[in-house]
Structure 1
Amino acid sequence: MIDPTTSLPPGPLECGPAAAAQAAALVAGPPGALYRVLLVEQESEAALVAARRVLAAFLPDGAGLDRDRVLAELADARAAIATAAARLRAASAETLAAVLRERAPLALIEGCWLDAVSQPATQPAVIVNRLLAERLEILGHGVAEHTLAQRRRRLLDDHGVLLPGLTSPDFLAGARARPLTAVTGAFYLALSRLPATFLPEVVGAHCAFRALGTDTGLSGMNGPGYDPAPLLSEYLALTERAPTGPADRARLLAAIQLVVGLERAHVAMLAELAGWHESLSLDDRMALIVARHAPYAGRQHDNVQISGVALRDLLAGPDFDAAALVHRLRSASQLRPSPSGGCRFTRAIRFGGPMFGIFDEVEARTITRWASAVASGDEPRATLAPCTAGDDEAAAWRRALVAAAPGDVVVAEPAVLDERRFLYRLVNVERFPGVLAAARTRVERVLAQAEALFELGAAGRYTDATWFDYSPVALRRRMDTIYWTKLVEPFRPLTDIPPRDEVINNQKRFALGNLVDGACTHRIGATGRDRPGDAALFAIYADEMGRGDVAKNHITLIHQALASMDIQLPHLRAREFLTQTELPDLGYPYATYQLSLALFPDSHYEEILGYHLGLEMFGLGELRLHEVQKLRHHRMDTAYESVHLSIDNVSAGHSRQAADLIVDHLDHVGRAAGPAAVEPAWRRVWRGYASFALFVEPRLARRLLAGRGAP
């Protein structure tokens, strides 16, 4: 049952005209805007199309590359970057802070290319599970404080580099990111949007980036660093058995070589930036501070004059010159030394002064040093030659982005889809990003229908979606009531086992839903998201996928169970699945809804939490116990059914964890947005639970939704 897939079948990317136009504008625009869209808009058709264009601009075809030579280049680059990083660490504290600040947009997205590598289109491939295990490690094995991004944040804080959140509109401005930083980050983020389509490139980029260890070197952390050999060896061994093996190896090597070049160029840019920073005079540093804060100077400065000229006039207009303003400040009364020490300007930025908190610690120290130098009679030296580090390389990449025209992008109006084609496109969303609009419509329609269960949900056989006012105690009480009264207490061992064919037909009813097991949470915890429960929720998903062990992967287990019934299916992503005849059509709406909901982990986060609670609890009790009994009687595989009875338990397993995540999330909402925000957030959580109940309570759903349309 081992899946040796090393790449997915090629195919065109089909998108709508509006998304194609938006993507073209994005790649032709500022690199910072492209970086931000690729990071933030993971639910956007245009972002997926833009990602395809970015990858077309960056990725060579890899033809003729020699494995040993490319791996030797990787080893040489690793040594060179370690040496360069050591030199940068030896710079002054202010220069090192400037370097770390510039590197932050790349350091904080390390591993982004693994965000969605584990998905219905790729599971349960061996290499995907290896990458899943590495992503789980990057996410701190489910502990938010241990994630790589949080550890990097603490390092930045230690160096006085305080940045907005990664998804904040002000993040790149706060990082003072140069064009080369933004355009390099855009490549890594583009790879994160299409990891199934570019699986060989993901393996190569991951191994190269982590092996080079640029950010580990800049942090000064000791240790052997990341060894790419095991993952590379495993992937290369798999390609030896794959019909696409030669092409996959070429793509892998091209990605390694590209990342080596990108990281070398970025480290060279950091070195140039450090040299420029070290050459700055105190006047230059002061001019940079003035330039950074000038756009925010408001009307509170209307009455301030600098050497007889209104400050608002000096700051206004397109001809504003920060160096000239600093030169004028030197003779201003605000810099005149006072008998008690310091001057009016430095007193103003201290605690209790009118400008306290305007400048960060590094800026405040620079201002104090500069004022002291002025008082001691230092000659002015404000030349402020502009920093151009990395600009030539960035300009070359921008030209490549504008020129990129991938031949596999097809512009077409959205198709009318039946359930089978809808499922096919949802699984292959990287090739059919236009399906996002239909998926959102489906999600909104089902959620609206599900609220009908708020009144009569108690009549459910396995669920109770009746509305109740939220409190942590009330949620856990409802969960315990469902568990005991609907899932456990009704259980009685079967005394009459149905015939084999009847058992198999019943398994077929649920098989399609089982084949998307865990899909509702596979996109949770994407780079830049810092919700308190993201890492833990992704860790639950990783459990479902065996935490990297293919033998424990639930998709492997369901195929194993089906094989014991002599049922062989094409992969969900395969076109052949469109015409499979083993599984009944009645299972498609449940699968397409879950796959649709999974595509909106930001805008429907609360609904996913509620749906996930229902999903985890459904793995317990009478229904599952009866299936185990029937399968065992007919000597069919029970592993898939049995594992849910243990892993989903309500004492400490996934069901309890799902409830705890809801409690933690709503507590966070209350503290961040106030108590009034909890009730609407809870309503969204509970309609997510109700949407799960809608599908597993068909009799109740038909009765409640008569005349409203099927889900």
Structure 2
Amino acid sequence: MYARALHPEQHPSPGPDLPVARAAIDPVGGRPAEPERDLAGLVDEARRWASEREQGFRSALAGPHRASARRCVLGNCAPLALSAGAWLQWLSSAGNAESELTLTLLRIYSSDLGVGYPLADRGSEYRAVLRAHRFKDEAPGPRLAASDQVESFSFRLPAVLLTMSRLPDRFRPELVGADLCLRAVGVLPPLAALEPEDVPVPVDTFDLGRARAPDEPVPLELALSAARALTDRGAGDRVRHGFRWAAEELALWCDALEQETRLATHPDYPVWRLIWARSRQASVYHGQLPLEGRPLSEWFAGVDAGPSGFLRALARSTLVRPGEPDRSPLVCGLIGEKGPMFRVFTEQEIALLRDWITHLPQEGSALDAGEDAHERHRRLRVAQGSWHRSDLEIDARPADGPAAGDFGRPKARSAYRALLSRAEPPGLRQFAHRYARRWLARSRFRRDKAERGLPARWDPDNGLRGWLATEHDRHGAVWAAGDPPLPSREELVESTLQLAPLILIDGGWLQGYTDYRLASSPAGHFLFQTYWDELGNGIWRQNHPKIYRDLLREMGVELPPTDSEEFAAWPGFDDRSFALPVFWLCIAKFPQTFAPEILGLNLAMELSGVGGSYRDAQVALRHHGFSTRFVDLHNTIDNVSTGHSAWAVDAIDTFLAEQPDPAGRRTTDAVWQRIRDGYRSLSPPEGLAARVYGALTAEIGRR
């Protein structure tokens, strides 16, 4: 569930994922009634709880074998810390981009990402800590999910949060409440308990409630503001429920992790985890090696019985000389350069085995005959039950049955509203993929004969900056040489109106790049930063859709909310005004599948007005007495030196430079042609021949 929820194109299935998320947040039988608390009181309570739990972890980390306990904490904080803030990733959409609540949440999320910089997200900061401690499975994904260094209970909260994040229309209030709880807690108590030498950065780096830069707003204050805004809309019970649910989950996780951390100070803990994790494979390849008269395969088959018998037999055997690892055949022979188990263990694991032998016969270890030894080994046996559970233990109710009917193949106007949100009714994804595929296929029609477009080949030595400067000069020269006639007032109002379905979802082609991993990637961070700008950097008065709506009001046009039924049905719109915006919304659902095409489309979009079109619009608007703020803003932020156009070519150059190219330039060339298709898709060829070509080649390519 955790690994599935990380995928940027993954929509939780109605089968395994949705019922698990629903059951976690709202278990069978409901939750006991609690006294009403205001949000500020809940925040104070969470902060006090975090401080108390920190002291418990300090005690757990203070015992012997502290390195093992520290590693236990760092590994088990990883599933949540590597995705810190990711639960907000889909709360913004084309349909709510003018909402002040959405913009507040986007301000929090952009801070979590370190907007404007690659790999500056909170998760990447935690990855640096894991690397410093030589964790191999430091990236969120399948390897971390399968890691034998992370307990199953540590995936429960992040798995449910990330799954809920893919269903924002269903879980928005609960997500906002859970986010407020996590911001109030600040630094996870196990991390807060680590010593400064354990972490290569100040521990408050991981404080979710703290601003990451001096000029940033405080995330905890923004989260509280968002929660209050939803409460004012009547969703207070759900917000508080989300807060309490997250608090309960954190408490359960801390209980389990503190117990595991205390066990990690047991002298046999690290070596027993290693043997337990490797027993299945070892029984196949080394099962006939004898240990106290029994083949190892028998010992490995009985690991569920706990460590006592196996470790004592190993410690008493000729393979081990207590206190002398350099003279122990286990290290120097069996797993040495000429031994039958050479390279079975990593250098880090060999160091762990050596340390175990060095401290034999330490109190509590396999060779200790004290009264407490048996009980401590019993606790290890109990603990190992949580080391490799295949799934979450949540009482899941049956999933909702699939909705009747199919999305079908509606006209663009009819599909527009459904595509504005992150929800996916049955058939919508198939419709979106088919629509985008056909549009892109039409964009390829006679592409190489088009008058304008990207170069036939990408220059890996110089990139696209030179081409961009030349293209800008060409735009400017065309504008300077021409003298376009001014449109009449009626023509200007009509053209401005017909662009509304497009401009009111400004940045909509990039909403797939709000995904946590894509938004901070080397190429993707340029696209998220562009999206962030289009929505006004979280400031409502700077929000581009809001500014465009203000312009329409000046013209005497009062449109319904963009995500309403009335908007798409508004009689003043032509059907053709929805074709391009629907393409934007369709392709945005596939930020990985159509990554090259989105990069090309983004460049075309950001360059479309620079040099001439915006200035023409500026002249016309000023002539008829309308505000020029919208075009002035874009003429500035889309500039080719430091603005969106520059970011667009930098994103393409970065993306292409990262492509694996085992066959010379063929891979890069193929990706480049797809970028060219995306560039042309802003204005694909019209006419029957182009449309037939698009329909036919899209279907052929699908096969």
Gaps of 5+ in 2: 195-202, 211-217, 699-703
CA distance in 1, matches of 2:324, 2:34: 72
- Aligned pair partner of 2:222 in 222, 231, 234: 231
**2:269 pairs with 1:274:** no
**8 Å contact kept, 1:472–1:663:** no
- After TM superposition, the structure 1 stretch with the greater mean CA deviation from structure 2, 354-363 or 323-332, is 354-363
Q: Deviations over 1:511-557 (max 9, x none)?
A: 32212211122221523457422333312211111111111111112
**2:162 pairs with 1:189:** yes
The 1:270/1:314 distance shift into structure 2, 3 A limit, reads closer
CA distance in 1, matches of 2:137, 2:483: 61
- Aligned pair partner of 2:406 in 413, 425, 435: 413
What is the total number of aligned residue pairs between the two structures? Answer: 657
**8 Å contact kept, 1:132–1:548:** yes
**2:346 pairs with 1:372:** no
Q: Deviations over 1:290-323 (max 9, x none)?
A: 1112334487648855456655665469989765
Q: Deviations over 1:183-237 (max 9, x none)?
A: 3222211221122443322322211111112427614525985466633553466
The residue number in structure 1 matching 2:213 is: none
- 1:632-647 equivalences under 5 Å are 632-647=622-637
Aligned partner letter, 2:144: F
Q: Deviations over 1:252-278 (max 9, x none)?
A: 122112212111221122112223333
The 1:229/1:466 distance shift into structure 2, 3 A limit, reads closer
CA distance in 2, matches of 1:211, 1:105: 19
- 1:31-430 equivalences under 5 Å are 34-40=1-7, 42-47=8-13, 52-60=18-26, 68=37, 71-90=40-59, 91=61, 92-167=66-141, 169-174=142-147, 176-215=149-188, 218-219=191-192, 221-222=203-204, 225-226=209-210, 230-231=221-222, 234-235=225-226, 238=229, 245-246=233-234, 248-278=235-265, 280-282=266-268, 284-297=269-282, 301=286, 305-306=290-291, 311=296, 315=300, 324-335=309-320, 341-347=326-332, 359=345, 363-374=349-360, 378-379=367-368, 383=377, 385-388=380-383, 398-400=393-395, 402-403=396-397, 405=399, 410-430=403-423
The 1:111/1:585 distance shift into structure 2, 3 A limit, reads same
Q: Give the C-alpha shift of residue 145 in structure 1.
A: 4.0
1:178 alignment partner, SS class? coil
CA distance in 1, matches of 2:32, 2:629: 44
**2:555 pairs with 1:565:** yes
2:95 alignment partner, SS class? coil
Aligned partner letter, 1:489: V
Q: Deviations over 1:156-191 (max 9, x none)?
A: 334454424212x22122264434332322221122
Q: Give the C-alpha shift of residue 503 in structure 1.
A: 1.3
Scaled by the length of structure 1, the TM-score of the pair is 0.82
CA distance in 2, matches of 1:36, 1:413: 28
The residue number in structure 2 matching 1:676 is: 663
**8 Å contact kept, 1:133–1:548:** yes
**8 Å contact kept, 2:603–2:645:** yes
2:403 alignment partner, SS class? strand
Aligned partner letter, 1:594: W
**2:633 pairs with 1:660:** no
Q: Give the C-alpha shift of residue 58 in structure 1.
A: 3.4
Q: Give the C-alpha shift of residue 375 in structure 1.
A: 8.1
Q: Give the C-alpha shift of residue 594 in structure 1.
A: 1.0
CA RMSD, 1 decimal: 3.7
The residue number in structure 2 matching 1:481 is: 470
CA distance in 2, matches of 1:57, 1:158: 38
Q: Deviations over 1:117-172 (max 9, x none)?
A: 121122111111111111111111232343200111122334454424212x2212
**8 Å contact kept, 2:325–2:354:** no
- After TM superposition, the structure 1 stretch with the greater mean CA deviation from structure 2, 51-60 or 201-210, is 51-60
- Aligned pair partner of 1:467 in 450, 456, 472: 456
- After TM superposition, the structure 1 stretch with the greater mean CA deviation from structure 2, 593-602 or 311-320, is 311-320
**8 Å contact kept, 2:319–2:330:** yes
The 1:142/1:668 distance shift into structure 2, 3 A limit, reads same
- 1:602-641 equivalences under 5 Å are 602-641=592-631
Scaled by the length of structure 2, the TM-score of the pair is 0.83
- 1:534-545 equivalences under 5 Å are 534-545=524-535
- Aligned pair partner of 2:432 in 424, 427, 439: 439
Aligned partner letter, 1:403: R
Q: Deviations over 1:400-442 (max 9, x none)?
A: 3x225569x7343333422122112111341525301111112
Q: Give the C-alpha shift of residue 708 in structure 1.
A: 2.3
The 1:375/1:680 distance shift into structure 2, 3 A limit, reads same
**8 Å contact kept, 1:336–1:375:** no
**8 Å contact kept, 1:48–1:193:** no
CA distance in 1, matches of 2:687, 2:78: 53
CA distance in 1, matches of 2:384, 2:251: 13
Aligned partner letter, 1:56: R
**8 Å contact kept, 2:604–2:680:** yes
The residue number in structure 1 matching 2:199 is: none
CA distance in 1, matches of 2:43, 2:246: 9
Q: Give the C-alpha shift of residue 498 in structure 1.
A: 1.8
CA distance in 1, matches of 2:650, 2:305: 55
2:464 alignment partner, SS class? helix
CA distance in 2, matches of 1:329, 1:233: 56
The residue number in structure 2 matching 1:552 is: 542
**8 Å contact kept, 1:611–1:692:** yes
The 1:314/1:53 distance shift into structure 2, 3 A limit, reads closer
Q: Give the C-alpha shift of residue 38 in structure 1.
A: 1.9
% of aligned pairs identical? Answer: 21
- After TM superposition, the structure 1 stretch with the greater mean CA deviation from structure 2, 659-668 or 48-57, is 48-57
Aligned partner letter, 1:506: S
**2:687 pairs with 1:702:** yes
Q: Deviations over 1:544-580 (max 9, x none)?
A: 1111111111111221222222222222321222311
1:696 alignment partner, SS class? coil
Q: Deviations over 1:77-125 (max 9, x none)?
A: 3212223224324502311221221221122222112112121122111
Gaps of 5+ in 1: 1-33
